[in-house]
Amino acid sequence: MLMMNRAGRAGWRSAMVLALGAGLALAAPAGAQDSGARGDLLNATLWMQKSVEYKAATLAAFTLARMRLNQALADRKWTGAPDEQKGDFHNLPPAVVLDVDETLVDNSGYQAWMAVKGASFTPGTWTAFVNSETAKAIPGAVEFCKYAESKGVKVFYISNRTAEEEPATRRNMEKLGFPMGGNVDTVLTSREQPDWTSAKSTRRAYVAKSYRILLNLGDNFGDFTDAYRGTEAERLKVFEANKDRWGREWIMLPNPTYGSFESAAFNHDFKKTQAEQNKAKLEALEPWKGQ
């Protein structure tokens, strides 16, 4: 999970849940509005929790990651942090960096709670969910991290969960079987150090000082580049500039429930009302012209 801290994500989740009524009234025929009352959050969460397609997609991503890890170990020029890896990094010990939320652990229970209750994201309810330590492992995630560790690769978790949420996060991940780094602090949370903002490049740079970063895995554009908050055209330009890295050094996990993809439609301006955000998202769509 990204780029912003959890408080910033409130805008995304709120846009999906609180603005759905107005959006569906514009986008759906009258007879479909009741059955779609919880809209895209409902379908997205259902897909994550129940579909074999989601499980197949995550297993495929981690299978690819294992293959790329082996290639990277054999190629000392290989780095998954091209902007942060400086100097003579070739002989540094290897590491991988991974996002946590919706990359390694599945928080769809919280999304489902919002859908069922008709609620929206708040920092308080999110922290309560974190402290419940009930997030599940995404299919393939634990196995990949253990495989990396077995190859002598240090596994770092770069998460925009807060430093206050780190103890519960660690306990949850330990229970799921993720390697936690031994005497090395491998859980790098937002604001744990003064320059560790919700943008993740400073934390990648911190790892890159001591390790050769082989791979970067995430579920959101902001897990790979700090340029995620541009317009849709600007984001596409950055994406294209790095297209050779996708599926090689950078591996993306699917997350349809929230992310910078939706706030890009309204230029990440969370001062806009829910109705304004939803209107901008509808206008960003490219619909069939119909009959």
What pTM did the predictor assign?
Answer: 0.85
Contact of 199 with 226, CB cutoff 8 Å? yes
Q: Which residues are paired to 159 by β-bridges?
A: 189
Most confident of 23-27, 36-40, 203-207, 229-233: 203-207
The pLDDT confidence band at residue 32, using thresholds 50, 70 and 90, is very low
pLDDT at 40: 67
Least confident among 43-52, 129-138, 265-274:
265-274
Taking only the tens place, the pLDDT of each residue in 143-177 is: 999 999 999 999 999 999 999 999 999 999 999 99
Mention every residue, 6+ apart, whose C-beta is less than 8 A from residue 223: 1, 2, 3, 99, 103, 158, 200, 216, 217
- The CATH number of 6-253+275-284 is 3.40.50.1000
Q: Region 103-130: what's the mean pLDDT?
A: 95
Task: Give me the chain's average pLDDT, please.
Answer: 87
Average pLDDT score over residue span 176-200: 94
- Characterize the bridge pairing of strands 105-106 and 136-137: antiparallel
- The mean pLDDT value for 199-221 works out to 97
Phi-psi region at 140: left, alpha or beta (left = phi > 0; alpha = psi -120 to 50): left
What is the per-residue pLDDT for 28?
A: 33
| Residues, the chain | 291
- Beta bridge mates, 217: 98, 251
- Does residue 274 carry a pLDDT above 50? yes
Mean per-residue pLDDT for 179-196?
Answer: 94
CA–CA distances in Å: residue 162 to residues 78, 133, 192? 31, 15, 7
Q: Which residues contact 137 (CB under 8 A, 6 or more apart)?
A: 104, 105, 106, 176, 177, 178
Q: Where are the alpha helices (DSSP H) in the chain?
A: 6-17, 20-27, 39-50, 52-74, 108-117, 123-132, 141-150, 166-176, 201-208, 232-241, 260-263, 274-284
Q: Residue 84: what pLDDT?
A: 96
pLDDT at 39: 54
Q: Provide CB contacts within 8 A for 4, sequence distance 6+.
A: 160, 198, 222, 260
